[in-house]
Structure 1
């Protein structure tokens, strides 16, 4: 066991003023226990990344950082999104830590299993996934939709760890390798399994949110799922193309049927099926344009090569200046 292993815990935050005091307490307690057991270096810390919060989230982080060296803060200039906030934290501390753990501020992921993450790290795992034991507390809709998403992604050839979100450990070499993936449209749950490094799973029971409101309502969850699909597969375009061919065949069949009816002199003025066919084909065309447009939009964003995030300030820089 190497007691000099320096751990950095990254916590993305967006309007989390209600839960932060408890998050400080829980994560600091876990970190100090690991230091006392000599599992990690005493310089290990927790980095809170404020993703453009509109409440007092950053003020709370600043105040706590002034009181303890265990807490550090990184403030982004605006809201760049959860995945970019994680990347900002990783890129900031990747070369100064031996491993990092990412966990959300809402305390739904069980911080008490972090020691198990460290044990798997010492066993040689570069990636340790926190995986929910069950979804019994979820609604039927959320449970079924989540399972359907994992099945769909599997059929699309995307390697995902079912019931795993963004609660994970990454070794320094895994983080540095991850930094080579420069795409604008980030879906870390799909990218990290692609690294191919030795990995393990740690199971835990997901808790109810300690305080505050969920930052992932249904609309955001659906958008996140769509990003995951379109970031890793062109199958949707192929599906649309296949449907197009199918509609052409159906159209040919209708044309043959219409010709037969005309020959038998059974034509009906204002044939309803003609209108239905127009609506069907028109709808499919709009869907096809929308799917292709989604991919073109992603290409557009990638070609601009804008930075994923902008750092406004960081408390640990101030502390380093004082130390010097």
Structure 2
């Protein structure tokens, strides 16, 4: 990576790392990030006042205790160097990955950092890609996406469902960056624009591309999880996909109207068939067709109610205007009331 131009100040970088029950992997994550930031400072790519911000999303293990230890005395956990790299905030309750990520990005904005790079704590994202991200940002790119160069490490099921999800979202008209999760760089202008999004049901993979600004991509090979278990099992992945669909498109509700219209057409056709059969004197038992019709229509009604109910539920959550999260504790000793972010 090219060093900062002569006389041009190095950017203040905040690396945002959401954490939920990450005690097994956190010390190693901290060691690698400290080494990376030290290297970037030596080359003039970032300012010495850059930081790593861990966001504890209501973990039930020792994650928050480790974050406080990394802030107070990182050497005890094997982190080399004297720079005070680590800061942390802790939620009062588990609020979900997207809220934790948003909280860290808003903290970076509030504290005046020039840009923020978000990544997961499991070390699957290649932190060496940060070099190219920063280079592209220095060249004027406001948002740089980390994109997987392949999905060779995924199972066939996960690879297939991911491709189906991205394809389905594009069909709905939602702008997404394929094979890109939440590993990205955002400049200060993009962070400021993101702060204006007030919805409770956050889907940052759809919101960030909607911000506009200049964008670019950095390709990297996604590795295996260093330790611990994935925080996105099938159930959470399905819920996350549903949030993405219902947060950015009303097409499913329009499908309800279409299904209702098709049901009426089928009913009229069955009524006409019945009249013709009676006129011709045919004996029509009708039990099987009646049962099939009842189950079909009943199923359509239940599915339709479920789709409409999903949207009504989201409206209900939005109208209550409750805070997305509450910061209970921070390593700087200040919980920051402004971080209740309604």
SS in 2 for 1:197: coil
Does structure 1 residue 35 correspond to structure 2 residue 41?
yes
Distance in 2 separating the partners of 1:151 and 1:138: 18
Q: d(CA) in 2 for partners of 1:229 and 1:252?
A: 33
In structure 2, distance between residues paired with 1:311 and 1:97:
20
- C-alpha deviation, 1:129, in angstroms: 0.2
TM-score (norm 1): 0.96
Q: Which residue of 1 aligns with 2:90?
A: 75
Unaligned runs of 5+ in 1: 319-324
User: Residue deviations 1:85-133, cap 9 Å, x none?
Assistant: 0111111121320000000000111111111110010010110000001
Q: Which runs of 5+ in 2 are unaligned?
A: 75-83, 335-342
Tell me by how many angstroms 1:174 deviates: 0.5
Deviation string 1:33-68 (CA, Å, 9 cap, x unpaired) is: 000101110010100000000000001111111025
Give the distance between the partners of 1:247 and 1:305, measured in 2 at CA. 38
Matches within 5 A, 1:94-105: 94-95=109-110, 96-105=112-121
Cα deviation 1:10-48 (Å, max 9, x = unaligned): 000000011101100111111110001011100101000
Q: CA deviation at 1:257?
A: 1.4
Query: Structure 1 residue aligned with 2:61, among 52, 55, 62?
Result: 55
The residue correspondences of 1:246-257 to structure 2 (distance < 5 A) are 246-257=262-273
CA shift, 1:243, in A, is 1.4
Aligned residue among 274, 279, 289 for 1:273: 289
Please state how far the C-alpha of 1:144 moved relative to its aligned partner.
1.1
Cα deviation, 1:169-203, whole Å, max 9, x if unaligned, reads 00011001100011111000001111110011000
Tell me what 1:302 maps to.
Answer: 318
Asked whether 1:11 is paired with 2:26, we answer: no
Is 8-17 or 63-72 further displaced after alignment? Answer: 63-72
Q: Does structure 2 retain, via aligned residues, the 8 Å contact 1:8–1:93?
A: yes
Q: 1:1-324 alignment to 2 at 5 Å? A: 1=4, 2-68=8-74, 69-95=84-110, 96-269=112-285, 271-317=287-333
Once the two structures are TM-superposed, the CA of residue 269 in structure 1 deviates from its matched residue by 3.2
Alignment RMSD, CA only?
1.1
By how many angstroms is 1:299 displaced?
0.5
**CA distance in structure 2 between the partners assigned to 1:63 and 1:113 by the alignment:** 27
- d(CA) in 2 for partners of 1:177 and 1:303? 22
In structure 1, what is the Cα distance between the partners aligned to 2:192 and 2:219? 26
Rounded Cα–Cα distance in structure 2 between residues aligned with 1:94 and 1:317: 19
- For residues 70 and 262 of structure 1, the distance between their equivalents in structure 2, rounded to whole angstroms, comes to 84
Aligned length in residues: 318
For 1:100 and 1:293, how far apart are their aligned partners in 2?
36
Please give the alpha-carbon distance, in whole angstroms, between the structure 1 residues aligned to 2:223 and 2:10: 32
User: TM-score w.r.t. structure 2 length?
Assistant: 0.91
